[in-house]
Amino acid sequence: MRALKADITTLALDAIVTAANSGLRGGGGVDGAVHRAAGPRLLEACQALGGCPTGEARLTPGFGLPARHVIHAVGPVWRGGTAEEAALLAGCYRASLGLLRQAGGVSIAFPAISTGIYGYPAEQACRIAVATCREAGAGLDILFACFDDRTLSLYLKELGA
């Protein structure tokens, strides 16, 4: 496992993960960037899936992206930590890794799921991401693609790098 400051839409891996909304409609933040970079066929593929519950993930082709697949993970909105947020966030990472394996892939990049507009405290989200990927990601090439220096420093610290 490793962390880099990177634009996730530029990574040529088996899969990149986007922090999706439950309707898989695109939107702002990383999800909007992924949809813009992949092109309009991504939204069409998402619409055919009929949404995704919080804590789960769905797989589509990467279309115009260098990544073969996009995994749409629906993280929880932060509600103070009393609404099963940690379990739901861990579920996103587990589900994403499971979809990667099912698709025959080994390389994946994650953004900091739920830490943007969903308000999840970045330090806690980072701990959950790294712990869950350590637990469920044996044999996989896992990259945490960090948008800014602060997020990168959290991941490097958590990874012991």
Model confidence over 43-90: pLDDT tens digits?
999 999 999 999 999 999 999 999 999 999 999 999 999 999 999 999
- Is the sign of the CA dihedral 143, 146, 151, 157 positive or negative? positive
pLDDT at position 40: 96
Q: Is 31 a catalytic residue?
A: yes
Question: What is the four-CA torsion angle of 78, 81, 87, 93, rounded to 10 degrees?
Answer: 40
Q: Report the number of distinct structural domains present in the chain.
A: 1
- The pLDDT value recorded for residue 42 is 97
> What integer pLDDT is reported at residue 27 of this predicted model?
82
User: Distance (Å, rounded) from C-alpha 125 to C-alpha 151?
Assistant: 10
- What is the CB-side half-sphere exposure of residue 74 using CA atoms within 13 A? 16
Q: Are 96 and 71 in contact (CB under 8 A)?
A: yes
The verdict on pTM exceeding 0.95 is yes
Whether 161 has a pLDDT exceeding 80, the answer reads no
Given 7, 31, 141, 148, the catalytic residue:
31
**Could you tell me the CATH number of the domain that includes residue 74?**
3.40.220.10
Domain span holding position 63: 2-159
